[in-house]
Amino acid sequence: MKPAPFTYHRPETLDDALDLLATHGDDAKVLAGGQSLIPLMALRMGRPGHVVDIGRIAGLDSITVGADGDVTIGALVRHEQTRTSTDVATHAPLIATAMPWVAHRAIRSRGTVLGSIAHGDPAAEMPAVVLATEPTLIARSSSGVREIAAADFFHGYLDTALRADEILTEVRFPAWSPNAVGAVVEVARRHGDYALVGMAAMLTVDGDTISSAALAYFGAASTAIRVPDAEQALVGATVSADTFDAAAAIVSAELSPPPDIHASAAYRRHLAGVLTVRGLSAATAEIGADA
Amino acid sequence: MTADRLAAEESAGGSIVDVALTVNGRSAPVRVEARRTLSDVLREDVGLTGTHLGCEHGVCGACTVLIDGQPARSCLLLAAQVDGAEITTIEGLAEPDGTLHPIQQAMMQAHGFQCAFCAPGFLMSAVALLADNPQPTRSEIREELAGNLCRCTGYQSIVDGVEIAVRRMNGDSSGGSS
């Protein structure tokens, strides 16, 4: 339960960190909060020859609200920082809603939001929040900057669009529409543990008619995953229990969650449906419709 | 002996780092393997064995300490990451004259623990909780302490102890009778 030996780097600038990654490539891992990487290394599931600790690089720990109301989160912003940020609560409320579900206080105080996204655990909350809210993910390497769309970011189990020489330095969440509502709900064996299944919902609503819908599930596939057929069933429908039940039925029919020691595939499919109704009801609770 | 250990680490390709920690108000500079976790440094290099290690991968919470006032799992951090930080461990809770911290007194009164292997982590988590939220409800206490595992008590006596501490720290000197 101890990490294997590695060469430790603690660069002071982003350029130095990117140069190190350019040199060591696949044999290097980026260390930010370490709340996923350190246990992986302790369990010897990961054994990098080089660890690049970006924790002392200045300028990566800010939450910035743009003129349009978009919110940019830097690579060293910790979960707890977003949980208590009024800017996040106002301009990126789905992140704030997700935070109480993310691990425990002692892990949120060290773990970073972008680290969770870059790690890409299929049972974690933030990848689903990314799929639901569709931010732009900004990756830097020594050869330049590239912007990755949320829909293109998660490739498979702990596998993302990031290359070995890149750091996810910022994620820019689009402005939250005045008509938008959202919720994050999950079922876990113990509060703060990885979810058996969870979901992040974002809707825009005109009056009591749903005009757009994004439903993103975690713990339900090899990555966080959306269910477009259920979303399409919601668009144009009114906010009602029948509408939500219909979407839930589609979700349960279409998802094929993997079984593990904690829950069977059938139970997870059932939970995904239950959570669909719960999430949509929570998201629309303040609209005044009796969903 | 430490020199032999560090030489072996270097020949195995591992970095050696100098880490300047302040632990419970005292300077504690150490020279250790970069892969050494904060929990191992506290126990093996600084000699403070009150911080306990259960799972060593972030599940049990026994190793919880405060880092610059914030709770953290010391097994999920390399000591190198917290170079320069102020660490508070269970040994730092009581007054220098041995007077126990109110949360320690309350846990005694509630018979909060049985074997008490988990106690250091629960106490540090409770201290962090009460610093953020001086008057938590019982359900808030349960939720905040969900990151710590106890295999003896079934948790009721631990939550009772925190409730007693809440009452004491908010001016009720009797601490209640639960």
**Length of chain A in terms of residues written:** 291
CA distance B163 to chain A (A): 19
pLDDT value of residue A288 = 57
- The burial of A111, by beta-carbon neighbours within 10 Å (0-12 exposed, 13-18 middle, 19 or more buried), is given as buried
Beta bridge partners of A167: A140
Residues 41-80 of B with CB under 8 A from A: 55-58, 61, 64, 67, 70-73, 75-78, 80
Q: Which residues of chain A neighbour B75 with C-beta distances below 8 Å?
A: 38, 42
Q: In what order do the strands lie in the sheet with B26-33?
A: B26-33, B16-23, B86-88, B64-67, B70-73
CB contact under 8 A, B76 and A49: no
Domain boundaries, chain B: 2-92, 102-169
Mean pLDDT of B112-119: 97
Which of A208, A191, A220, A225 is CA-nearest to residue A280?
A208
**Confidence class for position A287, pLDDT limits 50, 70, 90:** confident
- A-chain CB neighbours of B128 within 8 Å are 105-106
Q: How far apart, in whole angstroms, are the C-alpha atoms of residue A111 and residue A175?
A: 25
In tens, the pLDDT along A148-195 reads 999 999 999 999 999 999 999 999 999 999 999 999 999 998 888 889
The third-level CATH classification (topology) of the domain covering B2-92 is: Ubiquitin-like (UB roll) (3.10.20)
Q: Is A268 exposed, middle or buried (0-12, 13-18, 19+ CB in 10 A)?
A: buried
CA distance B47 to chain A (A): 19
Verify whether the Cβ–Cβ distance A190 to B70 is below 8 Å.
no
Min Cα separation A209/chain B (Å): 36
Residues B162-175 have pLDDT tens digits of 999 999 998 876 55
- In total, the C-beta contacts within 8 angstroms joining chain A to chain B are 103
Rounded average pLDDT over B16-22: 98
- For residue range B36-65, list pLDDT tens digits in order: 999 999 999 999 999 999 999 999 999 999
The pLDDT confidence band at residue A289, using thresholds 50, 70 and 90, is very low
Specify the pLDDT at position A29: 97
User: Which CATH class name applies to A63-173?
Assistant: alpha beta
Q: Where do the structural domains in chain A lie, given as residue ranges?
A: 7-53, 63-173, 180-285
Tokens for B89, please give them: 């461990």
The structural architecture, per CATH, of the domain A180-285 is: 2-Layer Sandwich (3.30)
The pLDDT score that the predictor gives to residue B173 is 62
pLDDT at A290: 45
- Say yes or no: do domains A63-173 and A180-285 share a fold: no
Residue A291 pLDDT exceeds 70: no
- Rounded mean pLDDT of B140-167? 96
CB neighbour burial string for B83-103, b if at least 16 within 10 angstroms, e if fewer = bebebbbbbbbeeeeeeebbb
Judge whether B2-92 and B102-169 match in fold: no
Nearest to A39 among B76, B128, B147 (CB): B76
Which pLDDT tens digit goes with each residue over B74-101? 999 999 999 999 999 999 999 999 999 9
Mean pLDDT, residues B112-118 taken together: 97
When the pLDDT of each residue in chain B is averaged and rounded to a whole number, the result is 95
Q: What CATH topology corresponds to B102-169?
A: DNA polymerase; domain 1 (1.10.150)
Task: Point out the residue among A6, A104, A109 whose CB comes nearest to the CB of B146.
Answer: A104
Using CA atoms, how far apart are residues A114 and B59, in angstroms rounded to an integer? 21
Is B13 near chain A, with CB under 8 Å?
yes
Segment A46-56 shows an average pLDDT of 97
Element (H, E) at A21: helix A14-24
Q: Is the pLDDT confidence value at B176 over 80?
A: no
What is A7-53's CATH topology? 3.30.43
State whether A104 and B61 contact (CB < 8 Å). yes
Question: What is the least distance, in Å, from the CA of B76 to any CA of chain A?
Answer: 6
What is the average pLDDT value for chain A, to the nearest integer? 96
- The answer to whether B34 contacts A51, with C-beta atoms less than 8 Å apart, is yes
Confidence class for position A58, pLDDT limits 50, 70, 90 = very high
Touching check for B127 and chain A: CB below 8 Å? no
